[in-house]
Amino acid sequence: MAELFKDVYCPAFYEQFSEVLTKVLPDFDSIKFNQMIFNERFADYELKQRMHHTAEVLHHFMPEDFSSAVVTLKRIIDELRGQGIKERSIEYMCLPDYIETYGLDYYDSAVDCFEYVTQYTSCEFAVRPFIIRYPAKMLVQLLAWTTHESRHVRRLASEGSRPRLPWAMALPAFKKDPTPLLPILTALKFDNCEVVRRSVANNLNDIAKDNSDVVVHVTTLWLGDNALTDKLVKHACRTLLKQAQPEIMALFGFQQDLITLTEMSITTPVVKVGGKLTFNFTINNTSGSPQKLRLEYGLYYLKKNGTLARKVFKITERVIAGNTEEQITRHQSFKVISTRVFHLGMHKLAIIINGQESKISTEKEALYSFELTS
């Protein structure tokens, strides 16, 4: 059986953490610490619950005064580094959780601690309640962090302010109006670290889900600055490209109707759960000149209520020569996974060329259907 992600919080981790805490906290009781950690509910806690639980238990052994606790947290980081314990380990995100839980009323001390701790383990989740409570002050701080010497602190400015950061609380104010984030993202668009630039792209992609016009405007301004920025905005527009947003498709040079679908067949019209769908199709660039090609397929999964829901899968993005015909075969797995429930019955398939669903003939609907069985 595959190890669960939450099991990074395991006896071996707490043994390691206890050794560190023993060095930093003179009166630390490792036996009591482990008894409190492994309570009767621990096995049922999910990842973030274990993370928060660890911060709560740690609080029993930390200085009561938060400014003193900040000093101790920094010493814990120093000891972790001194023992050669890997930076960016997700297990130690319990330390940012501690700041979030116990430091929200102590803005200056907490922000100072974020800047230090995030250079060891990311504070992208923990900083968000501070953005909500102290929006004006945090916008100034986030902008200041964009010039920090540490790439981890610069990344915190963009990743921590994402309107829709996965696994984290949303930032409703920025979902409604993301324009206050633009100076931060603009300051980082030429960052010399790819991880930081990718974070900028992720922030913009979040913005696109609620305010596509803002991302269209940014793309119009930034596209063509240089190759690195072009890569950034391309990644930032991935949701809009999947949606075939017309202005974005035009900005990236994807023309419609010049590349056509000429043949289509599903070679496995009946697919068993656990098996795979196989399909073939042919495309033709009908123009005499090379064309940019973004090729995808949409699977219309059958839902429990009998309706269909489309999920788009990318095949390729490249240039296709003029007057060229290409045959393509693809497979789609129906292996049982935890993130999707398969419903038996008729599903559909669509080939998407430069954002446009393509069919050979509206009279050949059967070409695009297959049955999922047990």
pLDDT in tens, 264-283: 999 999 999 999 999 999 99
Please state, for a pLDDT cut of 70, what percent of the chain lies above it: 97
φ, ψ at 189 (rounded to 5°): -65, -25
Q: Is the pLDDT of residue 365 over 90?
A: no
Compute the distance between CA of residue 14 and CA of residue 23 in angstroms, rounded to an integer. Answer: 14
Which of 100, 102, 107, 93 has the alpha carbon at shortest distance from 66? 102
pLDDT of 364 above 70? no
Work out the mean pLDDT of the chain and round it to a whole number.
94
SS3 132: helix
Q: Is residue 366 predicted with pLDDT exceeding 70? A: no
pLDDT at position 340 is: 86
For range 168-186, the mean pLDDT: 97
Nearest to 248 by CA among 215, 226, 222, 224: 215
**Residue 338: its pLDDT value, please?**
78
> What was the pLDDT predicted at 362?
52
Q: CA-CA distances (angstroms) from residue 241 to 185, 246, 250?
A: 20, 9, 10
* Residue whose token pair is 């953005």: 131
Any long-range contacts for 69-73 (C-beta under 8 Å, 24+ apart)? 69/98, 69/102, 69/103, 70/99, 70/103, 70/109, 70/110, 70/112, 70/113, 72/24, 72/25, 73/98, 73/99, 73/113, 73/116, 73/117
pLDDT in tens, 205-247: 999 999 999 999 999 999 999 999 999 999 999 999 999 999 9
Strand partners, 318: 293
pLDDT band at residue 368 under the 50/70/90 scheme: confident
pLDDT tens by residue, 4-23: 788 899 999 999 999 999 99
pLDDT score, position 162: 98
**Quick one: how far is CA 191 from the chain centroid?**
20
Q: Are 119 and 78 in contact (CB under 8 A)?
A: no
Q: Measure the CA–CA gap between 211 and 203, rounded to whole angstroms.
A: 12
Q: What is the pLDDT of residues 104-114, one digit of tens each?
A: 999 999 999 99
Output the pLDDT for position 367.
65
Bridge partners of 346? 371
pLDDT band at residue 361 using 50, 70 and 90 as cut-offs:
low
- Distance in angstroms (rounded) separating the CA atoms of residues 211 and 213: 5
Alpha carbon distance 356, 351 (integer Å): 8
Using DSSP, state whether 346 is helix, strand or coil. strand
pLDDT given for residue 337 in this prediction: 86
**What is the pLDDT, as a whole number, of residue 1?**
38
* Residue-range domains of the chain with CATH: 1-126 (no CATH), 259-373 (2.60.40.10)
Question: Is residue 56 a contact partner of residue 49, using CB atoms and an 8 Å limit?
Answer: no
pLDDT for 89 equals 74
Instruction: Tell me what the mean pLDDT of segment 353-370 comes to.
Output: 76
Pairing verdict, β 345-353 and 308-320: unpaired
What does the pLDDT read at residue 88? 65
For residues 336-360, give the mean pLDDT.
90
Which pLDDT belongs to residue 256? 86
Question: DSSP assignment of 185-245, as one string?
Answer: HHHHTT-S-HHHHHHHHHHHHHHHTT-HHHHHHHHHHHTTS-HHHHHHHHHHTHHHHHTT-
Q: Is the pLDDT of residue 2 over 80?
A: no
What band does 363 get if pLDDT is binned at 50, 70 and 90?
low
pTM for this entry: 0.88
pLDDT of residue 5: 82
For residue range 294-316, list pLDDT tens digits in order. 999 999 999 999 999 999 999 99
Between the alpha carbon of residue 210 and those of residues 50, 131, 171, the distances in Å are 32, 19, 12
CA distance 226 to 97: 38
The per-residue pLDDT for range 29-59, each reduced to its tens digit, is 999 999 999 999 999 999 999 999 999 999 9
Classified as helix, coil or strand, 371 is strand
Q: Please state the three-class secondary structure of 253-294 as a single string.
A: CCCCCCEEEEEEEECCCEEECCCEEEEEEEEEECCCCCEEEE
